[in-house]
Structure 1
Amino acid sequence: MKLTIALNSKVLLAPRTGIGNYVAELAQALQRHPELEMQYFYGAGWRPALAAAAMPGYARWAGAAKRLLPAAYRMRRLLEQRCFDRGARRICPHVYHEPTLWPLDFAGPTVMTVHDLTHIHYPQTQPQDRLKEIERRLPAAVARASRILVDSAYIGAELRQQFGLPPEKVVLAPLACSDIFQPRDERELLPRLQAMGLAYRRFILSVGTLEPRKNLLLTLKAHAGLPPSLRARFPLLVVGMAGWQADELKGALAQAVSAGHVRFAGYLDQADLACVTAAARIMVFPSLYEGFGLPLLEAMASGTPVIASDCASLPEVAAAAATYVHPQDDIALTEQMRRLMEDDVLWAERRGAGLLRSQEFSWTRCATITAEVYRQAANS
């Protein structure tokens, strides 16, 4: 029997970051499953086609709505629920898949994807109105869901412990990265790098939304601790859009940029991000908490060695291919950066290990697991 799947794809209207990339890549891989008929919900309406790009001005419009409207999250949810119900009555999906912590009400089987439990471990990194809505709705949503997909075994264990869920309800479906992340030679990347004022394999890369959880302050401090000659040869490139509580980070970042040897690129689209990821000497990712850590996998697939924090899901994802530091040890991070800048033999060994590890992840595998979960949910 062909299954009709309603996938909440509203996140694709915003500039692509972690969950947006997940939805886009998973949906494309699911299209290769002829037994599934995908229908995509975009908040105000439904489409049978996947959105190719973000809605122009969406982030600015959404931010203004949150600032100006009282109870913006609840008001938006009421409107979305009405639009969802109208389309669901027409489409009659067998299963509804919600890729975030915000599932809408649906009379049939619901599949959720829980990427992390940041709101529990780092509530201070969430806007208060958003946090209240998550705390109010998530326990019932988790209890109601037929199946819950998780990106890592680490998050699966957290989820089962936090909500007392049976093991069979939580299914591991590891993420992958887009094929655009791959090794590239200097000649291919030179025009883009020159436009950005960068040199091939002559900069350190930091990728992540500007929010406290990503631990950018540690990266800035560790880079500042390098000898002046190394800082000059290997500037730090910071890539990421502003997130919650970004003011302190913006201030520290502005000081580092004005002092020299640090550059801020802001948000980059996939093409430019793949370019700088493949061209960097090292990717530094000392995040305090991740449900997966997609930038690590993107770097490894691009042939760029990674330094990560030794906590949460990151050792599970990168395994022995990464170099690890404690997320509060800037001295250790400085030292590991220095080693990978100066030791070409070590750098080549780490590069090879990362490439091998990245080949163990694929969206085909993720989609196959997800399709099976849909079938289980439909028959539950």
Structure 2
Amino acid sequence: MRIALNARILQAPRTGIGHYVAELVGALAQESDVELSLFHGWGWSSQLPQATMPGYSRLTPLLRQIPGAYQARRWLEQKRFDQRRAQPIDLYHEPSLWPLSFEGPTVITLHDLTHLHYPETQPPARLREIERRLADGVQRARLILTDSQFIADEARQHFGLPAERFVVAPLGVAARFHPREPAAIDTVLKAHGVEAREYFLCVGTLEPRKNLTLALHAHALLPEALRQRYPLLIVGMAGWQREQFSAQLHTALASGHVCLLGYLPDEHVAQLLAGARALIFPSLYEGFGLPVLEAMASGTPVIVTRRSAMPEVAGAAGNYIEPDDPHGLRDAMHRLIDDQPYWQACTDAGLQQARLFTWERCAKVTARAYRQAMGG
């Protein structure tokens, strides 16, 4: 099967969907009947590009100010994509929102419907493009891959499509996420002024949907001595409209008990996850929740909301909280500090749960969807 996969998102700093594309491409290489060609927006390659850091493009802020810029870029990408048709393509896989035009079978991955629930998390021009193109792309796709059953059910109801059009392909966990001895992560931890198992960690783009204000509020409710010993570290890029919670963030930063680390290299994030007392992931809406899986695979307990797809990922290993209950989150943090047997039980349960998710399985389900979409 000659598969064209749109990998343009890999030109950006890698967050959830970028990691999905990179890991899926690597795992699909083990499928003997899959031959991938990667479209990078302006050309084609068989190799993954190197991950970039924030600031990779000075054009992005400019595009938001120019009327019709998204449509113009889309037109250029379509022209570049069409140039590849001189070489046969059996199927086109679009792993991020709306697909380009292609006369053959198309498979798309629909990670979530964030734009419906939290439109304020998207720049207006991009939101208009999503609203204009996504429904058509979903209707044109022969099969729609989702990361979770929750999103499959939600999308089926929203778009009015039959269940057989959807294939659930749960994500996996990269090899860099595994338990580590304190000595192995000491350099990275010391660079951020913390000791192994003596800090809480949040991982995610700074935007309202991630509900980081709950983590800030709950951490502030801990006794002063615990806040000092167990600071809260926040890792993630600045998202759209992050100013909605900036006042509380500035107050927390001024206290000295909260540290905003920004976007970090993948390996640094993996080491921080392996050394945390727990991952706090209070998101309001997720199509999967990859940091939850990565924390469990690293031997770190997770505190999550019982919302959207997160119970599918955390299973019985999750410490569940309500998304509007800072006292409940504080109590969960307090217990993971004070009750070492309970902390160890959560760690063991998380490691067991994480073994259920692999990129190899995700690739096999995806390759099977390719065959099905081609009529095989």
- TM tier relative to shorter chain: over 0.9
Provide, for residues 32-61 of structure 1, a one-character-per-residue CA deviation record: whole Å limited to 9, x for no partner.
112111000000111121223237842x42
Aligned to 2:141: 145
What percent identity do the matched residue pairs reach?
52
Aligned to 2:68: 71
The partner residue of 1:105 within 101, 107, 113 is 101
| 1:25 counterpart letter in structure 2 | E
Is residue 124 of structure 1 aligned with residue 142 of structure 2?
no
| 2:48 counterpart letter in structure 1 | L
| 1:254, distance to aligned residue in structure 2 (A) | 2.3
Write the distance in 2 (CA, Å) between the matches of 1:39 and 1:144: 21
Q: 1:53-72 counterparts in 2 under 5 A?
A: 53-54=51-52, 57-58=55-56, 60-72=57-69
Query: Runs of 5+ in structure 1 lacking a partner?
Result: none
The 3-state SS of whatever aligns with 1:44 is coil
The partner residue of 1:176 within 158, 163, 172 is 172
How many residues align? The count is 376
Contact 1:13 1:55 in 2 (8 A): no
Write the distance in 1 (CA, Å) between the matches of 2:218 and 2:86: 56
Is residue 48 of structure 1 aligned with residue 46 of structure 2?
yes
Is residue 24 of structure 1 aligned with residue 35 of structure 2?
no
| Greater displacement, 49-58 / 268-277 | 49-58
Provide, for residues 318-349 of structure 1, a one-character-per-residue CA deviation record: whole Å limited to 9, x for no partner.
11101001111111111111111111111000
Aligned to 1:247: 243
TM-score if structure 1 supplies the norm length?
0.96
Write the distance in 1 (CA, Å) between the matches of 2:362 and 2:253: 39
The 3-state SS of whatever aligns with 1:206 is strand
Aligned to 2:209: 213
The 3-state SS of whatever aligns with 1:101 is coil
**For residues 220 and 86 of structure 1, do their structure 2 counterparts lie closer, same or farther at Cα, with a shift above 3 Å needed?**
same
**For residues 159 and 234 of structure 1, do their structure 2 counterparts lie closer, same or farther at Cα, with a shift above 3 Å needed?**
same
Aligned to 2:280: 284
Write the distance in 2 (CA, Å) between the matches of 1:336 and 1:233: 16
**For residues 56 and 215 of structure 1, do their structure 2 counterparts lie closer, same or farther at Cα, with a shift above 3 Å needed?**
closer
TM-score if structure 2 supplies the norm length?
0.97
Aligned to 1:36: 34
Q: 1:219-298 counterparts in 2 under 5 A?
A: 219-298=215-294
Aligned to 1:82: 79
The 3-state SS of whatever aligns with 1:129 is helix
| 1:6, distance to aligned residue in structure 2 (A) | 0.4
Write the distance in 1 (CA, Å) between the matches of 2:150 and 2:12: 28
Contact 2:54 2:263 in 1 (8 A): no
| 1:288, distance to aligned residue in structure 2 (A) | 0.3
Contact 1:208 1:241 in 2 (8 A): yes
| Greater displacement, 246-255 / 230-239 | 246-255
Q: 1:301-320 counterparts in 2 under 5 A?
A: 301-320=297-316
Provide, for residues 270-320 of structure 1, a one-character-per-residue CA deviation record: whole Å limited to 9, x for no partner.
100001000000100010000000000000000000000111111111111
The 3-state SS of whatever aligns with 2:58 is helix
The 3-state SS of whatever aligns with 1:143 is helix
| 2:33 counterpart letter in structure 1 | E
Write the distance in 2 (CA, Å) between the matches of 1:38 and 1:353: 37
